[in-house]
Amino acid sequence: MTIELAMFVEDILVVVYRREAKETLVPRFAVTRTAERLHCTSLGKAILAHLPPNELTKTLKKLSLVPRTNHSITDRNDLISDLKKTRARGYALNNEEWLRGLIAIGAPILDLETNKVAGAVSFDFSTLQFSLKTMEEKYAKLILKLARDISQAVTVQC
C-alpha cells in the first residue's frame, strides 16, 4: 500500500509524508495539490466532509469538479451526498476517481482542541490487490485509529 499524510492549509493539500508501495505503478504528482483535486481523492474528501458548513460551501464554490476518470464525481449534489456518507462513517473512499485502477481510503486529521480538520491520511491500493469492499472491510478500523493517533500527536504539538 501507499500511505500519504497531508495537511490542509488555505484550500491547499500539502503532502508532508508519502511511503510508496514497492510495486507501485501509480505516477505521483507534485507534493502540493491544489483545491481542484479535493473532490476526487480520499485525502480531499476526508477533509471536505469535516469542514464546517460555511467553509464547505465556500470551498465547493471554488471547485470545478473536473473529471479525472469516468468514476470521478462531477455533480455537486452527488459530491455533497458522498461527503455526508463520509462524515457519518468517519472515513472517505476513492473508487478509481483519481486514477483508474487505484482505490483508497482516507480519514481526517483533527485538531482535537478546536475540532477543526487539519489534514488527512490515506492508504492507496491497486484494484488488482483488493475490491473497494474488501479494502474497506480490511482497513477502515486501521485508518480511523491511525487518524486518531496522528490527531492526538498534532494537537499535543500545537
Dump pLDDT digits (tens) for 10-35: 778 888 877 777 765 555 554 555 66
Q: What is the pTM of this model?
A: 0.89
**Domains of the chain, start order:** 2-157 (3.30.450.40)
147-156 in b/e form (b: 16+ CB < 10 A) is bbebbeebee
In the predicted model, is pLDDT for residue 48 greater than 90? yes
Q: Cβ atoms within 10 A of the Cβ of 93, count?
A: 21
Contact by Cβ (8 Å): 93, 122 = no
pLDDT tens for 83-132 read: 999 999 999 999 999 999 999 999 999 999 998 999 999 999 999 999 99
Tell me how far the alpha carbon of residue 1 is from its chain's centroid. 15
Q: Return d(Cα 158, Cα 141) in angstroms, integer.
A: 26
Quickly state the pLDDT bin for 158 (edges 50, 70, 90): low
Quickly state the pLDDT bin for 157 (edges 50, 70, 90): low
Nearest to 13 by CA among 24, 21, 2, 5: 5
Q: Return d(Cα 128, Cα 137) in angstroms, integer.
A: 16
Nearest to 45 by CA among 83, 7, 80: 83
In the predicted model, is pLDDT for residue 67 greater than 60? yes
Contact by Cβ (8 Å): 75, 97 = no
Average pLDDT across the chain, whole number: 89
Helix (H) or strand (E) holding 62: helix 53-62
Contact by Cβ (8 Å): 98, 40 = yes
